[in-house]
């Protein structure tokens, strides 16, 4: 068993040969994280992507090929780490979520792991924070109707995060399983949202902001038709984070303004793997730091391709430790 936080040796107190390992449990990080902390960490991370080299993520699988995990390394001028995000589809039968994440932070003075943070719940906030940041930078300021495609664990986090940056008055839920879509709409309504289950076509016809949070693959049809999207719509594509995944119709990528976390990674494993070679991908960090414009006119259709950036995991982990009054 890993040592508890009580056995951590702060960096400043270490002497040559001494070593302390900080272990922060899932219960601790879940109690610490909230939308505000996650969004602030996302802002720091995406600003850092402007100058930091993007370290490539790796998608692999366990002994059972259906069990997948992703390694997302990251490094800043002062810290480095790697997040391991797992997807074990049979976990619900064991009473466990399909998704989990563990963040490892290095002690850069000796090259050993200084901290292990279980961040399953925190990762859901982290993913939704990237969506909220993109909506804040790219969606029309008067956007008030949100459509969410997907009825899994992540969907409610996306709704809450987006509702913090835009005056969302209606939430439209779309799912291939109508019963699950209805159940999610009921849960969102209980949380105070005006939510209902609708068809994909109706959602696209009414939405100002669309969030896709699914596990859709290229061997299934896109979630909606390109011609259903109204001028002025913003779309955050959150689900395509591995080769072979796809949520959006490729025709949409040819006409919308495309934004992403890291262009090289987005082309390799994000929604943009299905874009044409000459498609222009604009890093969201460039918009955040005013290097380029986001939405130029109200009629623009904007797409944010979120393949997941390791710097966001690093910044979130450091923010959680700061809230614990712990430094590495």
Share above pLDDT 90 across residues of the chain, in percent, rounded to a whole number: 84
Cβ count near 292 (within 10 Å)? 13
Arithmetic mean of pLDDT, 132-159: 97
pLDDT of 19 reads 60
pTM comes to 0.91
- What is 15-69 written as a DSSP string? -TT----EEE-HHHHHHH--HHHHHHHHHHHHHHTTTSPPPPPEEEE-SSTTSEE
pLDDT of residue 14: 39
Q: Answer yes or no: is pLDDT of 12 > 50.
A: no
73: Cβ–Cβ under 8 A, 6 or more apart, which residues? Answer: 55, 56, 57, 80, 81, 82, 310
pLDDT beyond 60 at 142:
yes
Distance from chain centroid for Cα 116? 20
Contact 311, 45 (CB under 8 A): yes
Alpha-carbon dihedral sign for residues 66, 249, 297, 280:
positive
Q: Cβ of 231: how many Cβ atoms within 10 Å?
A: 9
Q: What are phi and psi of 259, to 5 degrees?
A: -125, 155
Average pLDDT of span 166-170: 98
In this predicted model, what pLDDT tens digit does every residue of 55-68 receive, in sequence order?
888 989 999 999 99
Per-residue pLDDT of 271-307, as tens digits, reads 999 999 999 999 999 999 999 999 999 999 999 999 9
Q: Of 39-43, 82-86, 219-223, give the lowest mean pLDDT range.
A: 219-223
Closest CA to 205 of 246, 182, 233: 233
**Which domains, ranges and CATH numbers included, belong to the chain?**
5-122+311-323 (3.30.1780.10), 129-307 (3.40.50.720)
Range among 12-21, 182-191, 211-220 with highest mean pLDDT value = 182-191
Dist CA 328 CA 322 (whole Å) = 10
Q: Which of 72, 83, 170, 178 is an active site residue?
A: 83
Residue 83: active-site member: yes
Confidence band, pLDDT 50/70/90 cuts, at residue 52: confident
Q: Please answer whether residues 137 and 126 qualify as being in contact, where contact means their C-beta atoms are separated by less than 8 angstroms.
A: no
């Amino acid at each position: 068993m890993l040592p508890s936080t009580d056995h951590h040796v702060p960096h400043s107190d270490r002497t040559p040969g001494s070593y302390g390992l900080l272990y922060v449990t899932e219960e601790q990080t879940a109690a610490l994280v909230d939308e505000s902390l996650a969004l602030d960490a996302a802002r720091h991370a995406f600003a850092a992507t402007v100058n930091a080299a993007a370290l490539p993520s790796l998608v692999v699988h366990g002994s059972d090929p259906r069990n997948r995990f992703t390694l997302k390394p990251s490094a800043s001028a002062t810290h480095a780490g790697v997040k391991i995000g797992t997807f074990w589809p049979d976990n619900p039968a064991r009473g466990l979520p399909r998704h989990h994440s563990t963040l490892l932070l290095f002690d850069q003075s000796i090259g050993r792991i200084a901290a292990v943070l279980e961040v399953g719940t925190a990762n859901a906030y982290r993913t939704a924070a990237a969506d909220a940041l993109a909506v804040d930078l790219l969606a029309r300021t008067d956007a008030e109707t949100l459509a969410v495609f997907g009825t899994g664990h992540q969907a409610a986090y996306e709704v809450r995060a987006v509702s913090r940056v835009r005056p969302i008055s209606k939430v439209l839920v779309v799912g291939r399983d109508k019963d699950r879509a209805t159940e999610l709409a009921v849960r969102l309504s209980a949380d105070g949202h005006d939510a209902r289950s609708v068809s994909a076509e109706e959602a696209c016809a009414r939405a100002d902001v669309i969030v896709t949070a699914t596990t859709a693959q290229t061997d299934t049809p896109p979630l909606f038709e390109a011609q259903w999207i109204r001028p002025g719509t913003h779309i955050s594509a959150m689900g395509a984070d591995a080769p072979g995944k796809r949520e959006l119709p490729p025709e949409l990528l040819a006409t919308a303004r495309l934004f992403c976390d890291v262009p090289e990674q987005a082309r390799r494993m994000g929604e943009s793997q299905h874009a044409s070679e000459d498609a222009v991908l604009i890093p969201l960090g460039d918009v955040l730091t005013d290097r380029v414009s986001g939405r130029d006119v109200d009629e623009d259709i904007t797409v944010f391709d979120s393949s997941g950036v390791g710097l966001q995991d690093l910044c979130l982990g450091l923010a959680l430790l700061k809230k614990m009054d712990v430094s590495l």
